[in-house]
Amino acid sequence: MTKILVTGSTGQLGQALRSVSDLYSSLSLHFFSKQELDITDTNAVESVFTSQPWDYVINCAAFTNVDLAETEPEKALLINGKAPAILAKACKRNGIHLIHISTDYVFDGEKGSPYTPQDLPNPINQYGATKWEGEKAIQAIGGDFSIIRTSWLYSEFGNNFYTKILKKAEAGEPLYVTNEHIGSPTYAKNLANHILTRTKNSCILKGISHFSDGEAMTWLELAKKIVKEKKIKTSITGSKKQQASTLRPFKSVITD
């Protein structure tokens, strides 16, 4: 049986992986929260990685608060940039394949057409910059690794765009959503199934790849889609104004 260690198990993707794990009987997934495994602690990582013969590590742990990364860049860099290097070194030493999740925010959004894995990153905020540092560190260390960039991840788990919109809509609050930014919204369970299916079939792509649900839209269009699917009647107004001061790529659609 293939043994998989999952870091950041209480995050959005970690919970999505747990929710679909029963569909993969040939995979034995072991979930570790931040409290159970601090990926910034070299000794803790080495101890867990050598505790049993793991085949894969799926790194779902990340500092994902884009705005907070601007005010806490050192913390964001530690988790998004330096910790992946710790994981990559431990994986290489122990013959483990590292699957690391990255983001469309490594791009500046100025290309005008969908980004491919071959496009050169140029992040415009601290979150994207720290995730790019993590990618570079993993590639420099080498070993078996797969870096999967995804975009606009949403789900019913945790605090994300989907849950925020749904909560406000169900409460009858009017919604004001930016219609400036364009991306590829990705349902976390779809990404989880993509990872586990390819792992089960031993065809996980090495190097850098992209995964999204493929449909390009604005945050406003996604909000309308969410409330329509849930059959909620509410007022949704488009806004040209960014909801936060942090720079975000205006068009970060990704494709393979």
C-alpha–C-alpha distance, residues 148 and 171, integer Å: 36
Helices (H) and strands (E) in the chain, counts: 9, 12
CB neighbour list of residue 25: distance below 8 Å, 6 or more residues apart: none
Of 127, 162, 176, 187, the active-site residue reads 127
C-alpha–C-alpha distance, residues 83 and 39, integer Å: 6
Give the count of beta carbons closer than 10 Å to the beta carbon of residue 119: 15
Task: Give the orientation angle of helix 188-200 with respect to helix 12-20, to 10 degrees.
Answer: 60
127 is catalytic: yes
Q: What are the φ and ψ backbone dihedral angles of 109, each rounded to 5 degrees?
A: 80, 15
Residue matched to tokens 């299916």:
197
State the catalytic residues.
Answer: 127
